[in-house]
Chain A
Amino acid sequence: MNMSEKVPVTILTGFLGSGKTTLLNRILSEEHGKKIAVIENEYGEVGIDQGLVIDADEEIFEMSNGCICCTVRGDLIRVLGNLMKRRDKFDYVLVETTGLADPGPVAQTFFMDDEIRDEFSLDGIVTLVDAAHIDQQLGRSDESTEQVAFADVLVLNKTDLVSDDTLDGLEARLRDMNRMAQIVRSEQANLPVDTVLNLSAFDLDQALERRPTFLEPEYPFEWTGVYSLEPGRYELSLAEGPDPEMSLVVVYDQRADDSALRDGAELCVRQYAEPAENVLPGESIPVGTHVNLKLEDPGRKSFLLKIDRPVQVGLYAQHTAEEFDLQLVSADGTAVALTTERTWVAQHEHDDEVGSIAIERDGDVDPDLLNIWLSRLLAERGVDIFRMKGFISFAGEPKRFVFQGVHMLFDSQPDRLWGDSPRRNQLVFIGRNLDEESLREGFEACLT
């Protein structure tokens, strides 16, 4: 059956008081010309002019095998099973969960039950958070954390009750936990219906359009500058900046194209993992070594860089050139022009044990190797992996494959033709205590 024939389902989660009922009321009363069936847990003050509101007890069905991925919502299977028999199909189904619900069983229902999977597609998970309370809730309840981790859209609601600074901080915290989600702010759940329905939220293309860097790995450096140099002595000159010191790695033979820069970045990560060698102003900077430029002294400071052959060098710096007015000055006192420069997504501390990991790699994947790796990964870590989505380029396949998964369940479907676009794999994992390095290594071993 074609994906497009399936009825899209949106799951609406959020703690008590986050504004779910207000949002539901808005959706059902707004003129949008769509037929929506709402499945909720208690009849609230919900107008039912344009849709059907079905009251269902949240019935969590665990199975005797004890497998958490087999845990589904029995009430949904029954209600949706009856809805799909009707000839007058609905355009959308919206499932509201109780405040304390774990989104896992709801989402799994759309993977686990064959009949439901044939007729409905999980369009997205929308989580409302109360800006005034989410900070404390995240610390205290697993459910709240899971609702954030599962979301495709995070609605930061009641923004009028907190300061802009607090909001920015909250947004950063939520973003850390779930890099995949689109974050929108609202005061009284006053959102356009399109923010909530028909998200095609699993479409990573859209996510990339919104935030082109979201799949990029984080690095311990923010900036790279590439310079073409003749043999000679150069001075690296820095003004006073935001930090009394700065980490740096200088590499030789740095090409200026983006792919070479990314290779260089991967290399420098390893250098950065080594302890840094302190370099004082006036001293010489060794090439290919992690150094720590000491910048405590007031005013401009210079460090020596000796170049022994014509070469293109890359400077991988902890801060951007702009922050310290960084310049490379030749022996005759003129500043060397940059061949190219690039900024990176800066690494920072992650406070929450729930987080997201993105992997982006050019090339083709061997389907058998991927299957073996994913099956083992999900069998071992499926409990801690809440969501997984991505695009895969399989060797010999003209079409891009779209992956999505919830805990141990995953589903892949052919998507559009690659055509002339570069064949690239993008995967995002959201989960608890994920090991980034082993995920990366595991995936890389699947490349042909």
Chain B
Amino acid sequence: MLLVGDSAGGVYGFDGESGAALWSHQMAHEGGLLALAINPEGTAFATAGQDERLLIWDAAEGQTTKAIDIDNGWVENVAWSPNGKWLAASCSRQVRVFDLGGDELWRSDDHPSTISTIAWSKSSELATACYGQATFMEGPTGTIRQRLKWKGSLISMALSPDGKVVACGSQDNSVHFWRRSTGHDSMMPGYPGKPTALAFDTKSTLLATGGDATVTVWSFQGRGPEGTHPGRLQLHVKTVSTLSFAPRGRRLASGGRDGAVVVWSLQKDGEGEPVGAALVPDVVAEVYWRPDGRALAALDAQGGVTVWRVGE
């Protein structure tokens, strides 16, 4: 199944093979939908929006099973823990964690600034990024485990699947990352634009970053990426807006403000070649891989959904 939410506040379910529309709700979130996340089992999903509400849905039926009023401003991020037990939602300076049934387990203290993005690590820690810091909290309790500070606005975040590295894109046109074991940080400055798109591959070796029309790929093999040259993937003619690694292997999908969707085959050092490309009518908002890695979906700014089959 392919689940899609749009900025106008609608939620839609499509058959993942045929594209047939299964169900739709045009006004699930009044004012606009801001986030959608599917649980690891694919049985439930959560949506959040400008109506200050968090909704939990049954994926097959397309019916809400729980509506939670957050009433603290726009609910901008939702994320399920890898074990499927917990659902996190951020709203203004606070993040709250719920169980599958929608009962609240804990809520954080106010962060120093509005939370820009959230992510779960494999070991069920919840990470948040905001202006000035990235914070790691214990999934079940919310106890703070680590605070990584940086005087800058952290606008995007990617956790390496092995849990060792957290990377953040910053408003000041740099990518900043920390080794979690030591808290040691490195900055990759010199991006022409702000890196809103970041993605780690499944092996935790490659970090793909946007920031302009070039996809810049840092390799963490050996002693890198410090002191190494990144791979520079060039095909887009406008800024890269979204990046996503395939569920297996070193295949990367990129979408751009030029409306291009490109699939790249990467090497361990971060260099790579395009293996397929297509155009959609407007800015690419998101690209998503089907869990089996054999199909790729792109959402564009006109509200279009395009799905391609991807060969081996």
- The yes or no answer to B265 lying at the interface (CB within 8 A) is no
- The yes or no answer to A204 lying at the interface (CB within 8 A) is no
A-B contact count (CB 8 A): 62
- Interface residue stretch chosen among B17-25, B147-155, B287-295: B147-155
Chain B residue with minimal CB distance to A85?
B7
- Bound-state Cα–Cα, A86 to B10, Å: 12
How many whole Å from B275's CB to the nearest CB in chain A?
29
- 0 or 1 for each of A78-113: is its CB under 8 Å from B? (1 = yes): 110010011110000000000000000000000001
How many whole Å from A120's CB to the nearest CB in chain B?
16
- The yes or no answer to A62 lying at the interface (CB within 8 A) is yes
Chain B residue with minimal CB distance to A77?
B171
- Bound-state Cα–Cα, A62 to B172, Å: 9
Contact A61 B153 (CB under 8 A): yes
Contact B74 A57 (CB under 8 A): no
> For chain B, which range describes its interface: under 10, 10 to 19, 20 to 34, or 35 or more residues?
20 to 34
How many whole Å from B150's CB to the nearest CB in chain A?
7
Contact A82 B171 (CB under 8 A): no
- Bound-state Cα–Cα, A78 to B172, Å: 15
- Bound-state Cα–Cα, A79 to B31, Å: 12
- Interface residue stretch chosen among A24-32, A64-72, A137-145: A64-72
Contact B151 A62 (CB under 8 A): yes
Contact A55 B193 (CB under 8 A): no
Q: A63-B171, A86-B7, A114-B193 are in contact. Are A74 and B153 (CB under 8 A)?
A: yes
**Contact residues in B for A78 (Cβ distance below 8 Å):** 76, 114, 116
Contact B150 A64 (CB under 8 A): yes
Contact A59 B32 (CB under 8 A): no
Contact B74 A74 (CB under 8 A): no
How many whole Å from B115's CB to the nearest CB in chain A?
10
- Bound-state Cα–Cα, A86 to B301, Å: 9
- Chain A CB count within 10 A is highest, among B76, B172, B301, for B172
A86 interface neighbour in B32, B114, B131, B171, Cβ under 8 Å: B32
How many whole Å from A49's CB to the nearest CB in chain B?
15
Chain B residue with minimal CB distance to A66?
B151
- 0 or 1 for each of B25-36: is its CB under 8 Å from A? (1 = yes): 000000110100
- The yes or no answer to B285 lying at the interface (CB within 8 A) is yes
Interface size counted on chain A using CB atoms at 8 A: 24
Contact B113 A74 (CB under 8 A): yes
- 0 or 1 for each of B131-171: is its CB under 8 Å from A? (1 = yes): 10000000000000000001111000000000000000001
- The yes or no answer to B194 lying at the interface (CB within 8 A) is yes
How many whole Å from A280's CB to the nearest CB in chain B?
69
How many whole Å from A352's CB to the nearest CB in chain B?
34
- The yes or no answer to B219 lying at the interface (CB within 8 A) is no
- The yes or no answer to A222 lying at the interface (CB within 8 A) is no
- Chain B CB count within 10 A is highest, among A72, A74, A77, for A74
- Bound-state Cα–Cα, A125 to B267, Å: 51
**Contact residues in A for B114 (Cβ distance below 8 Å):** 57, 59, 74-75, 78
How many whole Å from B91's CB to the nearest CB in chain A?
12
A57 interface neighbour in B31, B92, B172, B303, Cβ under 8 Å: B92
B151 interface neighbour in A54, A63, A114, Cβ under 8 Å: A63
**Contact residues in B for A79 (Cβ distance below 8 Å):** 74
Question: Which residues of chain B (54-80) have a CB below 8 Å from chain A?
Answer: 73-74, 76
For the complex of A and B, the 6 pairs showing the least CB-CB separation, nearest first, are A85-B7, A63-B172, A61-B153, A64-B151, A64-B152, A86-B7
A interface vs B, CB < 8 Å?
Answer: 52, 54-55, 57, 59, 61-65, 70, 72, 74-75, 77-79, 82, 85-88, 113-114
User: With contacts A63-B151, A78-B114, A86-B8 known, what are 10 further pairs, Cβ within 8 A?
Assistant: A55-B73, A61-B131, A62-B151, A64-B172, A74-B153, A82-B7, A85-B32, A113-B194, A114-B193, A114-B239
